[in-house]
Amino acid sequence: MMARNLFIPITLGLVITFLIGPFLIIVAASFSAGETLAFPPQGFSLRWIAKVFTVESFRDSFYMSMFLAIGGTLVALILGIPASYALSRYKLPGAETIRTIVSAPIIVPGIIVGLSLLRYIVVPFQVGITLALFLAHTALILPYAVRVVSASLGNLRSDIEEAAVLLGSSRLGAFFRVVLPNIRGGIMSAFILGFVTSFNQVPVSLFLSGPGVRTLPVDMIAYMEIVFDPSVAALSALLAFMSIGIVFIAERFLGFSRYV
Amino acid sequence: MSDANFLTLENLTLAYGDTVAVKDLNLTIGKGELVAFLGPSGCGKTTTMRAIAGLLSPASGHVKLDGADITRVSANKRNVGLMFQSYALFPHLSVYENVAFGLRLKKTPAAELDKRVKAGITSVGLTDYADRKPGELSGGQQQRVALARSMVMEPKVLLLDEPLSNLDARLRLDMRSELQRVQKETGVTMIFVTHDQGEALSLADRIVVMKRGAIEQIGSPEDIYNRPTSAFVADFVGFENIFELSDGRLKTPKGPVELSGPVPIAAGLAWRPRMVTLGSGPFQGTVRGASFAGNSREYLLDTPLGPIKAEVDAALPSHELGAELAFDLPVGAAAQLRTFG
C-alpha cells in the first residue's frame, strides 16, 4: 500500500529531475565567476553572459540560424499550405504515399538525413553550404507545416468555400477570403513549431555546415571543443529562455497546443 | 421566355466520375414557384440542386434560367442562392459581415450596402445579434443568418438543402412560416430538397418526387398525397397496402385474387390503412398486431392477400389479437398506379 502511494510521486520527481535538472544546472553554471564550465558555480558574475554577445562567430551563426529558421519555415509553409489543402480537400491518387513521403524527415534519424543529403545531393551537385542548409531545414520543417495545417483544415467545413463561391467569389478568392482566415491559428502554430525545430536542429546541420557557415548549435559544439568556459552555458540558457518565451506567448494567444 | 418556364432543366444527366446520379432529367419551374425535390437519400435530388447552383457541371443537357442558357456559367456568376443544410456560415466573420460578404464582392457602395445588410438582418429578426460570431448563435439563428445572407443578394432562385431537418419541432414551424413570408414578400423562386414528405407537403406549391436519378412523379401536394401514380410514390406517402394488378386481379403471394366491383385499368392499386374497411367484406384475416394511436387504432392482419394494415377510429370497439375479421379493399377508394415497381 505504501509502495503504491509512493510510486507516482517518485516517478514524477524523477521525470522533473531529469527534465528540468540539467536545465537548472546550465542556468546556474552560466552565472559562474570561474574560468571553466563547472557545477556548482564558483562565485557569481554576469561576465559569461556578457561574453556571449562579444563572440563574433556566435553572432554570425545566430544570424544564420535565424535566417534558416524564419526563411525555411516561410518556404515550408508556402509549400505546405497548398499541399495540406490538396491532401485534405481532394481525393488524390496516392495521397497516403504523399503524406508518408512528406512526413519522412520526422521519422528518419537526422544523422541519416544529414549524411544522405551530403553524400547524394550536396557533393555531387556542388550545392553551396548556405543553400544546402536552407533546403535541408525547409525539408525538415515541411512535415510539421503539413501536419499542423492539415489538422486545422480538418476542423473547417469545406462547404463554406462553396457558400463563398455562390455569393460571387472565385474559387481562389474563396480560399483567401474564407479558408486562410479560419486556419490562421494553425498557420501561426506551424510557424512556431517549424521555427523551434529548425533552430534546435543539430545532426543535419552538423553534416552540412562548412567553413565559415554554421548554425548556432553547431557553432557551440565547435566552440566547446576549443574553449571550455561557461559562455556556452550562458548561451544555452539564453536560447532556452527564448524558446520557452515563444511557446508561452503562442499558447497564451493562439492556443498552440490545440494544433500540435 | 415566359414566367412559366423561368427555370428549365433539359435532358440533364449528372455524374460523379462514372457513377450516374441523375439521368436525362427534364423539368420546368415557373417564376415565384415553391418547389420541393422529394425522395430518399441517393435519389439525385441534392445532385440536381447542385447542378442548378453550378457547383456541379452536367455530363450532358442544359440548365436555362430567365431566358439564358447557364449550363456553362460558373457558380459565382449565376446569382443563384443556396442555403446549406449545415448553414455554412463563415466562422471568422460577424453576422453583419456574413450577410455583407456577397455585396462587398460586388463592390456595392457603402451606404447602400449598409442599408441592405441591416434590412436583411432585421427581416430575419437578428438586429441585436449583428456583431456576434456564428459560433455564438443557436442553430435556428444561424440558419436565419444563412437565409439573410442568400436573400440580400436578391437571387433569381433560392435553393434550400433540407431547410427544416436540423430543427426541433417548434423551430421547424418558425422556419416554415419564415420561408413562406420571404417567398411572399420577394416572390423569389424557391427549390428545396427534402427526404421528409411532411416537409414537402406543408411547404411546397409543387412536389417533384425523385427515385434513383429520375423523376417519378410531379404534382401538387394534394396530387402526390392522394393520387400517387407509382408504387414507389404510394409507399413514400404512406399507402401501406400496395398490390400489382394483372388481368383485373390482385397479384398476391398466394395467387391472383378477385376484387368486388369493377376494376380500373391500372398497373396496380394502393390503399392507405385508413381506406381498409374492417368488420365486413369478402376477405378474412387474423389480427396479428394491434396498437393504439390516440384517435385511431392500427391493426396488422394476416390474410390470404399477405399482410394488410388497417386503421380505424379509436371510438369503435377494439379487436383482440388472434381475432378473425372480415375486411374489404374498396376499389373506389384505391389510388390507381400507372407504373408498378
- Tell which of B191, B209, B228 closes a domain: B228
pLDDT of residue B261: 77
| Same domain flag for B222 and B238 | no
Tell me if A165 and B102 make a contact (CB, 8 A cut-off): no
| Same domain flag for B80 and B215 | yes
- Average confidence (pLDDT) over A204-233: 86
Which of B55, B102, B150 lies nearest to residue A162, judging by beta carbons? B55
* Rounded Cα gap, residues B158 and B203, in angstroms: 14
**A1 found inside a domain:** no
CATH code of the domain covering residue B267? 2.40.50.140
pLDDT of residue B2: 62
| Same domain flag for B127 and B218 | yes
Domain hosting residue B97, numbered range: 3-228
Q: What is the tally of structural domains in chain A? A: 1
pLDDT of residue B336: 92
| Same domain flag for B86 and B124 | yes
| b/e sequence A137-170, b meaning 16+ C-beta within 10 Å | bbbbbbbbbbbbbbbbbeebeebbbbbbbbbbbb
Contact residues, chain A, for B82 at CB < 8 Å:
162-163, 166
CATH code of the domain covering residue A232? 1.10.3720.10
Tell me if A166 and B81 make a contact (CB, 8 A cut-off): yes
- Contact predicate B32/B187, CB 8 Å: yes
Give the helix/strand (H/E) hosting A2: helix A2-30
* Chain B interface includes A172 (CB < 8 A): no
- Tell which of B197, B228, B259 closes a domain: B228
> Average pLDDT by consecutive 10-residue portion of chain B (341 residues)?
84 91 94 94 93 94 93 93 94 95 94 95 92 92 94 95 85 87 91 92 93 94 94 93 89 85 87 92 92 92 92 89 91 89 68
Tell me if A167 and B149 make a contact (CB, 8 A cut-off): yes
| Same domain flag for B115 and B215 | yes
pLDDT of residue A173: 94
Higher pLDDT, B221 or A39: B221
Tell me if A168 and B76 make a contact (CB, 8 A cut-off): yes
**A7 found inside a domain:** no
Verify cis geometry, omega within 30 degrees of 0, for the bond prior to A40. yes
Pick the most confident of A23-37, A43-57, A173-187, A246-260: A173-187
Which of B53, B92, B105 lies nearest to residue A169, judging by beta carbons? B105
| Same domain flag for B86 and B220 | yes
- Give the three cell numbers for residue A149: 495545417
Question: What predicted TM-score, i.e. pTM, was given to this entire model?
Answer: 0.81
Has residue A89 got a pLDDT over 90?
no
pLDDT of residue A256: 60
Task: For residue B152, give the chain A residue with the closest CA.
Answer: A167
- Tell which of B191, B210, B228 closes a domain: B228
**A65 found inside a domain:** yes
Distance from CA of A154 to the nearest CA of B (A): 14
Contact residues, chain B, for A183 at CB < 8 Å:
none
Q: What is the tally of structural domains in chain B? A: 2
Has residue A258 got a pLDDT over 80?
no
**A2 found inside a domain:** no
Distance from CA of A162 to the nearest CA of B (A): 7
- Average confidence (pLDDT) over A140-163: 90
| Same domain flag for B69 and B93 | yes
Contact residues, chain B, for A159 at CB < 8 Å:
84, 86, 88
Which of A156, A166, A182 lies nearest to residue B53, judging by beta carbons? A166
Tell me if A164 and B90 make a contact (CB, 8 A cut-off): yes
Over the stretch A90-133, which tens digit does the pLDDT of each residue have?
877 888 888 888 888 888 888 888 888 888 888 888 888 889 89
* Chain B interface includes A155 (CB < 8 A): no
- Contact predicate B228/B267, CB 8 Å: no
- Contact predicate A105/A113, CB 8 Å: yes
- Contact predicate B266/B308, CB 8 Å: no
pLDDT of residue A2: 55
Over the stretch A55-87, which tens digit does the pLDDT of each residue have?
888 899 999 999 999 999 999 999 999 999 998
Distance from CA of A178 to the nearest CA of B (A): 7
**A85 found inside a domain:** yes
Give ipTM to 2 decimals.
0.85
| Same domain flag for B7 and B68 | yes
- Give the three cell numbers for residue B76: 459565382
| Same domain flag for B60 and B203 | yes
Over the stretch A156-206, which tens digit does the pLDDT of each residue have?
888 999 999 999 999 999 999 999 999 988 898 899 889 988 988 888 888
pLDDT band at A251 (very low <50, low <70, confident <90, very high): confident
Complete DSSP assignment for A5-61: HHHHHHHHHHHHHHHHHHHHHHHHHHT--SSS--SS-SS--SHHHHHHTT-HHHHHH
| Same domain flag for B224 and B147 | yes
Of B14, B10, B29, B40, which is closest to residue B209 (Cα–Cα)? B40
